[in-house]
Amino acid sequence: MAKDIFVYIDHFQGEALPASWEAVGAARSLAESLGGDVAAILVGENVGDLAEQAIQYGADKALHVEDASLADFRPEPFSSIVAKIASDADVLLMPTSGRTRELAAMVGVDLDTGVIPDVIEMDTADGAIMAIRPIYAGKLLSKVTIPVNRPQILTLRSRAFPKPEPDSNRSGAVEGVEVEIEQPVTEVTGYGETEAGVSLSDAAVIVSGGRGTANNPDLEPPADITDEKEQEIWRAQQGFKLIGELADVLGGAVGASRAAVDAGYIPYSHQVGQTGKVVSPDLYIAAGISGAIQHLAGMRTAKTIVAINKDPDAPIFKLARFGVVGDLFDVLPPLTEELKNR
Ligand X SMILES: Cc1cc2nc3c(=O)[nH]c(=O)nc-3n(C[C@H](O)[C@H](O)[C@H](O)COP(=O)(O)OP(=O)(O)OC[C@H]3O[C@@H](n4cnc5c(N)ncnc54)[C@H](O)[C@@H]3O)c2cc1C
Nearer to ligand X (CB atom), residue 119 or residue 261: 261
CB of 317 to ligand X, least distance (A): 10
Q: Figure out which of the listed residues 11, 64, 157, 258 binds ligand X, where binding follows CB under 6 A.
A: 258
Q: Which stretch binds ligand X (CB under 6 A): 75-83, 152-160, 228-236, 252-260?
A: 252-260
Among the listed ranges 2-10, 47-55, 91-99, 285-293, the one in contact with ligand X (CB under 6 A) is 285-293
Closest CA to 128 of 145, 143, 151: 145
Of 91-99, 160-168, 169-177, 282-290: span binding ligand X (CB under 6 A): 282-290
Question: What's the min distance (Å) between Cβ of 333 and ligand X?
Answer: 12
* Nearest CA-CA partner of 76 in 115, 44, 103, 46: 103
Angle, CA 262 vertex, CA 256 and CA 267 arms, to 5°:
55
Is residue 239 within a helix (H) or strand (E), and if so which, with residue range? helix 228-249
Report the site for ligand X in 288-327 (rule: CB under 6 A). Answer: 288-290, 292, 294-295, 298, 308-311, 314, 327
Residues with Cβ within 8 Å of 179's Cβ and at least 6 positions away in sequence, in order, are 65, 81, 84, 85
When the beta carbons of 7 and 261 are compared against ligand X, the nearer one is 261
**Segment 171-210, which members bind ligand X (CB under 6 A)?**
210
Provide, rounded to whole angstroms, the least separation between the CB of residue 57 and ligand X: 31
Tally Cβ neighbours within 10 Å of residue 312: 9
Helix, coil or strand: residue 48? helix
Nearest distance from C-beta of residue 95 to ligand X, angstroms:
20
Closest CB 223 distance from ligand X, rounded Å: 23
User: Least distance in Å: CB of 220 to ligand X?
Assistant: 16
User: Strand 5-8's sheet: what is its strand order?
Assistant: 115-119, 152-156, 91-95, 5-8, 38-44, 61-66, 173-176
**Beta strands per DSSP E along the chain:** 5-8, 11-12, 15-16, 38-44, 61-66, 91-95, 115-119, 121-125, 128-135, 140-147, 152-156, 173-176, 205-209, 253-256, 283-287, 304-309, 322-325
Residue 251 CB, nearest approach to ligand X (Å): 23
Q: What is the total count of residues that contact ligand X (CB under 6 A)?
A: 29
If one asks whether residue 17 binds ligand X (CB under 6 A), the answer comes out as: no
Q: Which positions touch ligand X (CB under 6 A)?
A: 210-212, 215-216, 257-260, 271, 273-276, 288-290, 292, 294-295, 298, 308-311, 314, 327-329
